[in-house]
Amino acid sequence: MKTYLVTGAAGFIGANFIKYMLAKYDDIQIVVLDLLTYAGNLGTIASDIDNKRCFFVKGNICDRELADQLFAKYAFNYVVNFAAESHVDRSIENPQLFLQTNILGTQNLLDAARQAWTTGKDATGYPTWRTDVRFHQVSTDEVYGSLGATGYFTETTPLNPHSPYSASKTSADLFVQAYADTYKMPVSITRCSNNYGPYHFPEKLIPLIIKNILEGKKLPVYGDGSNVRDWLYVEDHCKAIDLVIHKGKAGEVYNVGGHNEKTNLEIVKLTIRTIRQLMEEEPQYRNVLKKKEMGADGQLSIDWINDDLITFVKDRLGHDQRYAIDPSKIQRELGWLPETSFETGIVKTIRWYLENQAWVEDITGGDYMQYYERMYKGR
Ligand code: NAD
């Protein structure tokens, strides 16, 4: 039986990760540590927490006493650190919170793990370690900065973050690497491109666009919509992390991406087209529409679901132009390949949102609406 501390698993990727792991392995125990910030939702993982294979602890990754207690109680084999403030726009509003959670929180976990996992010292003074442990940091391609029209981020691309979010994730990565170099701690890092899929908080592009379409609202696109991101279905990211923590070399960084570059405008147009097509082919989905306009055929109209909904808004400050991952190291060394094409993944994702509106409504209460107004009003 291996035990995992998975932080931030009430959020988007962490929740998908624990669901994937619990379905795949019978012989694991997972302790979720999550502060349940605006981005965390216990409802997302409520059905996974059975207090036998999966436990939930509400708490802050910056809390050393709590981390020590958890290490003492569960003797973890793995720490998988998803917990973070993850939204670039919010980092522009409040950079300090990103520094606290993303940098100090990661360092706190590293140190708690160091204390719990070291077994003594070798002849040269380096700590010796339990042989069955790994600290895994879930990082982002944003640490590499921005690309021009060509080229890809490899693991040796110099770190060159621009936003407070990416600066904080870069600093966390450097601390993870420092623990490996200084203490020989068994660590790994994955740097992944943009994820999409179920349970994604609707402040991020794809779920925001889906939500606004259903409500008949305008679809805000930053600048001229030409910024490029490399999109990966979330389950493919979870599979990559599973591979890296079990088969990846300690001390290594692995880039994870799907070679699926799209401009933001392309993503928005594709989402509009896909929703409209699904509602044409399966009219029962029209019941989910909050904008209720009757068509001549007596059904809820979808004629207004078109590109006219798009509105270009003032660009994000310091908006990186292009991210694109070269995933050849993880493909070559660990045999990882993205299994979900974008065409399949986007339909799966949109269907999930159409069928899980209660989840969306649950997490988009007052705080979300205030945030939305602040971000987009007058832009
Ligand atoms: P998310 O915002 O959906 O979830 C973050 C989770 O962390 C939430 O459940 C939140 O409650 C929790 N959390 C925040 N602060 C905490 C604290 N101080 N202590 C404990 N828990 C705390 O984020 P996500 O999109 O699932 O991203 C997860 C990780 O993956 C992040 O580290 C992010 O940098 C990284 N990442 C995300 C993407 C992406 O496209 N979403 C891509 C690459 C890497």
Among protein residues, the one whose CA lies closest to atom 4 of ligand 1: 11
Q: What is the pLDDT of residues 330-342, one digit of tens each?
A: 999 999 999 999 9
- Residue 166: pLDDT over 80: yes
Q: Does ligand 1 come within 6 angstroms of the Cβ of 195?
A: yes
Residue 368 scores a pLDDT above 90: no
Amino acid at 31: V
Cβ of 7 closer than 6 Å to ligand 1, yes or no, is yes
Supply the residue whose CA is at minimum distance from atom 13 of ligand 1. 83
State yes or no: pLDDT of 364 exceeds 90: no
**Once rounded to an integer, what is the mean pLDDT over residues 154-162?**
97
Model confidence pLDDT, tens digit, residues 190-212: 999 999 999 999 989 999 999 99
- ∠ CA 292-295-296, nearest 5°, is 155
**List of E strands, the chain:** 2-7, 28-34, 54-58, 78-81, 118-121, 127-129, 134-140, 187-192, 194-196, 219-222, 228-233, 252-256, 261-263, 310-313
What is the per-residue pLDDT for 260?
95
Tell which wins on pLDDT, 195 or 362.
Answer: 195
CB-ligand 1 contact for 39 (6 Å cutoff)? yes
Q: Write out pLDDT tens, residues 79-88.
A: 999 999 999 9
User: Which among 105, 115, 93, 165 has a CA at the least distance from the CA of 137?
Assistant: 105
Q: Which residues pair with 135 in a beta bridge?
A: 79, 187
**pLDDT reported for residue 297:** 86
* Predicted pLDDT at 374: 73
**Ligand 1, closest atom to CA 37?**
11
Per DSSP, the three-state class of 300 is strand
Contact 114, 164 (CB under 8 A): no
Determine which one of 4, 144, 165, 222 is catalytic.
165
- The number of beta carbons lying within 10 Å of the beta carbon of residue 108 is 18
Question: Has residue 375 got a pLDDT over 80?
Answer: no
In the chain, the domains with their CATH numbers are 2-196+233-258+319-340 (3.40.50.720)
- pLDDT given for residue 63 in this prediction: 98
Q: Is 140 in the pocket of ligand 1 (CB under 6 A)?
A: yes
The closest-lying atom of ligand 1 relative to the alpha carbon of residue 195 is: 40
Query: Which pTM value belongs to this model?
Result: 0.96
Q: Answer yes or no: 142 catalytic.
A: yes
111 is catalytic: no
- How far is the centre of ligand 1, averaged over its atoms, from the C-alpha of 132 (Å)? 26
Q: Give 59 or 364, the one with higher predicted confidence.
A: 59
- Residue 33: pLDDT band by 50, 70, 90 thresholds? very high
Q: What's the pLDDT score for residue 365?
A: 73
Q: Is 368 a catalytic residue?
A: no
Q: What is the mean pLDDT of residues 344-372?
A: 87
Burial code (b: 16+ CB inside 10 Å, e: under 16) for 152-178 equals bbebebeeebbbbbbbbbbbbbebbbe
- Choose the catalytic residue: 142, 235, 236, 261: 142
Q: pLDDT by residue (tens digit) across 284-332?
A: 999 999 999 999 888 999 999 999 999 999 999 999 999 999 999 999 9
Tokens of 315: 């660009």
54 lines ligand 1 (CB under 6 A): no
The ligand 1 atom at the shortest distance from the C-alpha of residue 15 is: 26
Q: Decide if pLDDT at 379 tops 90.
A: no
pLDDT, tens digit (0-9, with 9 covering 90-100), for 247-288? 999 999 999 999 999 999 999 999 999 999 999 999 999 999
Which one of the listed residues 141, 235, 236, 320 is annotated catalytic? Answer: 141
Residue 366 has pLDDT above 70, yes or no: no
Mean pLDDT of the chain: 95
Dihedral over Cα of 127, 128, 130, 131: its sign: positive
For residue 198 and ligand 1, the question of a CB distance below 6 A is answered with no
Q: What is the pLDDT of residue 312?
A: 97
Supply the residue whose CA is at minimum distance from atom 44 of ligand 1: 140
In this model, does residue 378 exceed pLDDT 80? no
Both tokens assigned to 379: 């832009």
